[in-house]
C-alpha cells in the first residue's frame, strides 16, 4: 500500500510526463509558419515536424511497454524523460529543418517510453477502485498540455522565438527527472519473464511505422505501398507471436476478446473525435472569417471541457463498469458530430461551440474508461505493455481520423485549395467527413454496448 503523499507524487510525475508531448505538438503547430520562415521548406516537409513524432511514438510504444514490465516502469519512464531532455536540446539548437525533424523523431522515442509507462505507474500505485480517477487526472494533464501549447506556443514564438519552446520542455523534463529520482521510491520489475522477444519487436515496430505512414499518405501510391508493407509485417508479427514461447504480447492478451474489443473501440472512437478540430479550424477561418488567434480560442472550448470534466469522469469508471462509461462517451461524441451535419456558412457559432463542448465531454468520458476497460483481463505484470497497446491504438486512431479527411477532401475537392469559389465544395467535404465520423462514433458505442448486453444477458 502506498501513502496518499506517495500517490500524489506519482500522479504529478506521470502528469508532467504525459503533458510534454501534447504541449510540443500544439505549440509547434502554432509555430510552424515561423519555422518555415527561418528554414526554407515547403508545407509537406514542415508537416514532418509533427509526423515524425507520431510515427516514432506509435512504432515503439508496445516494445517499450514490454521492456518496462521487465526492467521496471519507473526506470523506463525516467529514461524517457532523459531522452525528452536530449531531444529538446537537439531541436532547440537545430541548424536546419532535417535536424529539427530528427529531433522530433527522438521526441517520439521519448514519448513511447513515457506514454507506455505513465499509466502503468498509476495502475501499480493506485488500487483498482481509485484507478479511474487517477487515469482521468492523467489524461486531463495530457489535454491541458495541448491547450497550454496552443496558448503559450503562439506567445513564445511571437515575443521570443520558437526555439524557446524546447527550452521550456527541457526545464520540465529536468525537473521531472529530479522529482522522480528523489521523491518516488522503489521500482516495479514485475514481469515473470526476462525474454524480450527481439523477433517480435523487429516485426512490430516497422509494421506499425509503415502502416501509419501509409495511412497518412493515402491515396498516393507510396501510401498504398507502405500500407501493404506494414500490413504484411504486422501479419507476420501475429503469426510469430502465436508460436513464440515468450512473445512480445502474451498469448493471454492475444486471445482476450475483451482487450480486442476495447482496442478496436479505442481506434474507432479516436478516429471519430480527433479530426474534427482540424475541420473546424479551417471552417472558422475560411468560412466565418475568424483570425487564427480567435479561432484558436474557440477551439480551446473542447480542451477546457476536458480539463474540467476529466478527473470526475474518471471516477465514474471506478463506480460503474468502464465499458458502459466508454459507450456513453462514444454516444456523446456522436451527438456532437450530429450537430455539425448541416454545417453551412450560416451555421450559428453557438452550435459549433456546443459541438466542441460535447466533443470534449465525449473524450473525457471515453479515454479513462477505455484504459480501465482494457486492464480488466490483464495480469499485473503486463500493465506497461497494455498501456503501450492502448496508446498505440489512440495514435492509430489519430492517423485514421486524418486519413478520412484526406480521402474525402481529395474526392470532393479534387486537390483544389480553399478559396471563396470553392467554399461550397469545402462545406460539402466537411459534411461528408462529419457523416463518416458519426458512423465511427456509433460503431465505438456499439462495441462497448454489445459488451454490456452480452454481460447482462
In this structure, the answer to whether residues 61 and 208 fall within a common structural domain is: no
In this structure, the answer to whether residues 172 and 229 fall within a common structural domain is: no
- Whether pLDDT at 194 is above 70: no
Query: What pLDDT digit, counting tens, does each position of 119-143 carry?
Result: 778 877 888 788 878 888 888 898 8
The enclosing domain of 40 has a CATH number of 1.20.1250.20
- Whether pLDDT at 233 is above 80: yes
In this structure, the answer to whether residues 108 and 242 fall within a common structural domain is: no
In this structure, the answer to whether residues 80 and 135 fall within a common structural domain is: yes
Q: Is residue 191 part of a domain?
A: no
Average pLDDT over residues 387-395: 81
In this structure, the answer to whether residues 402 and 371 fall within a common structural domain is: yes
| pLDDT (0 to 100) of residue 267 | 93
In this structure, the answer to whether residues 238 and 340 fall within a common structural domain is: no
Q: Is residue 259 part of a domain?
A: no
Q: Is residue 142 part of a domain?
A: yes
In this structure, the answer to whether residues 220 and 301 fall within a common structural domain is: no
In this structure, the answer to whether residues 33 and 170 fall within a common structural domain is: yes
Query: What pLDDT digit, counting tens, does each position of 350-373 carry?
Result: 999 999 999 999 999 998 888 888
Q: Is residue 255 part of a domain?
A: no
In the block, cell 495511412 appears at: 215
In this structure, the answer to whether residues 161 and 204 fall within a common structural domain is: no
In this structure, the answer to whether residues 379 and 437 fall within a common structural domain is: yes
Would you tell me how many other CB atoms lie within 10 Å of the CB of residue 416?
12
In this structure, the answer to whether residues 243 and 295 fall within a common structural domain is: no
| pLDDT (0 to 100) of residue 341 | 92
| pLDDT (0 to 100) of residue 257 | 80
Which residues span the domain enclosing 221? 198-247
Average pLDDT over residues 72-100: 93
Q: What percent of the chain has pLDDT over 90?
A: 33
Q: Which of these ranges, 241-250, 378-387, 391-400, 412-421, has the smallest mean pLDDT? A: 378-387
| HEC assignment per residue over the chain | CCCHHHHHHHHHHHHHHHHHHHHHHHHHHHHHHHHHHHCCCCHHHHHHHHHHHHHHHHHHHHHHHHHHHHHCHHHHHHHHHHHHHHHHHHHHCCCCHHHHHHHHHHHHHHHHHHHHHHHHHHHHHCCHHHHHHHHHHHHHHHHHHHHHHHHHHHHHHHHCCCHHHHHHHHHHHHHHHHHHHHHCCCCCCCCCCCCCCHHHHHHHHHHHHHHHHHHHHCCCHHHHHHHHHHHHHHHHHHHHHHHCCCCCCCHHHHCCHHHHHHHHHHHHHHHHHCCHHHHHHHHHHHHCCCCHHHHHHHHHHHHHHHHHHHHHHHHHHHHCCHHHHHHHHHHHHHHHHHHCCCCCCCCCHHHHHHHHHHHHHHHHHHHHHHHHHHHHHCCHHHHHHHHHHHHHHHHHHHHHHHHHHHHHHHHHHCCCCCCHHHHHHHHHHHHHHHHHHHHHHHHHHHHHHHHHHHHHC
Let me know: does 452 contact 321? Beta carbons within 8 Å.
yes
In this structure, the answer to whether residues 21 and 141 fall within a common structural domain is: yes
User: Which of the pair, 281 or 18, is modelled with greater confidence?
Assistant: 18
Query: What pLDDT digit, counting tens, does each position of 416-445 carry?
Result: 767 788 889 989 999 999 999 999 999 999
- Whether pLDDT at 19 is above 90: yes
Distance CA 259, CA 396 (A): 16
Q: Is residue 141 part of a domain?
A: yes
Query: What pLDDT digit, counting tens, does each position of 201-226 carry?
Result: 889 888 988 988 887 777 778 889 99
Average pLDDT over residues 399-414: 82
Domains in the chain, number: 3
Q: Which of 83-92, 153-162, 320-329, 443-452 has the highest mean pLDDT?
A: 83-92
Amino acid at each position: 500500500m502506498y501513502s496518499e503523499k506517495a500517490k500524489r507524487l506519482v500522479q504529478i510525475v506521470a502528469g508532467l510526463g504525459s503533458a510534454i508531448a501534447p504541449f510540443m505538438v500544439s505549440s509547434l503547430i502554432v509555430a510552424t509558419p515561423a519555422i518555415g520562415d527561418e528554414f526554407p521548406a515547403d508545407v509537406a516537409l514542415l508537416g514532418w515536424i509533427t509526423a515524425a513524432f507520431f510515427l516514432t511514438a506509435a512504432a515503439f510504444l508496445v516494445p517499450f511497454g514490454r521492456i518496462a514490465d521487465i526492467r521496471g516502469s519507473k526506470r523506463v519512464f525516467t529514461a524517457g524523460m532523459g531522452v525528452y531532455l536530449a531531444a529538446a536540446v537537439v531541436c532547440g539548437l537545430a541548424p536546419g529543418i532535417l535536424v529539427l525533424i530528427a529531433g522530433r523523431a527522438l521526441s517520439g522515442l521519448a514519448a513511447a517510453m513515457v506514454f507506455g509507462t505513465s499509466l502503468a505507474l498509476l495502475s501499480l500505485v493506485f488500487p483498482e477502485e481509485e484507478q479511474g480517477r487517477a487515469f482521468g487526472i492523467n489524461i486531463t494533464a495530457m489535454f491541458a498540455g495541448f491547450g497550454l501549447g496552443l496558448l503559450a506556443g503562439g506567445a513564445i514564438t511571437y515575443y521570443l522565438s520558437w526555439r524557446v519552446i524546447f527550452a521550456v520542455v527541457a526545464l520540465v523534463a529536468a525537473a521531472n527527472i529530479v522529482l522522480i529520482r528523489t521523491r518516488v521510491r522503489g521500482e516495479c520489475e514485475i514481469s515473470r519473464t526476462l525474454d524480450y522477444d527481439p523477433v517480435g519487436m523487429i516485426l512490430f515496430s516497422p509494421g506499425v511505422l509503415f502502416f501509419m505512414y501509409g495511412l497518412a499518405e493515402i491515396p498516393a501510391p507510396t501510401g498504398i505501398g507502405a500500407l501493404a508493407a506494414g500490413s504484411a509485417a504486422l501479419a507476420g508479427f501475429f503469426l510469430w507471436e502465436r508460436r513464440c514461447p515468450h512473445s512480445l504480447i502474451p498469448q493471454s492478451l492475444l486471445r482476450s476478446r475483451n482487450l480486442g474489443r476495447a482496442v478496436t473501440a479505442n481506434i474507432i472512437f479516436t478516429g471519430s473525435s480527433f479530426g474534427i478540430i482540424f475541420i473546424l479550424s479551417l471552417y472558422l477561418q475560411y468560412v466565418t472569417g475568424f483570425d487564427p488567434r480567435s479561432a484558436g480560442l474557440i477551439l480551446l472550448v473542447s480542451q477546457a471541457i476536458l480539463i474540467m470534466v476529466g478527473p470526475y469522469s474518471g471516477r465514474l469508471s471506478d463506480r460503474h463498469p468502464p465499458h458502459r462509461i466508454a459507450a456513453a462517451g462514444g454516444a456523446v461524441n456522436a451527438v456532437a458530430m450530429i450537430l455539425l451535419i448541416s454545417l453551412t456558412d450560416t451555421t450559428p457559432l453557438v452550435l459549433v461551440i456546443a459541438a466542441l463542448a460535447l466533443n470534449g465531454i465525449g473524450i473525457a468520458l471515453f479515454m479513462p474508461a477505455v484504459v480501465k476497460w482494457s486492464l480488466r483481463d490483464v495480469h499485473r505484470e503486463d500493465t506497461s505493455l497494455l498501456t503501450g497497446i492502448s496508446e498505440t491504438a489512440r495514435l492509430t486512431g489519430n492517423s485514421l481520423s486524418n486519413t478520412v479527411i484526406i480521402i474525402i477532401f481529395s474526392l470532393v475537392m479534387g486537390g483544389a485549395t480553399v478559396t471563396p469559389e470553392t467554399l461550397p465544395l469545402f462545406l460539402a467535404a466537411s459534411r461528408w467527413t462529419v457523416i463518416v465520423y458519426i458512423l465511427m462514433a456509433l460503431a465505438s458505442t456499439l462495441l462497448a454496448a454489445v459488451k454490456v448486453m452480452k454481460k447482462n444477458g
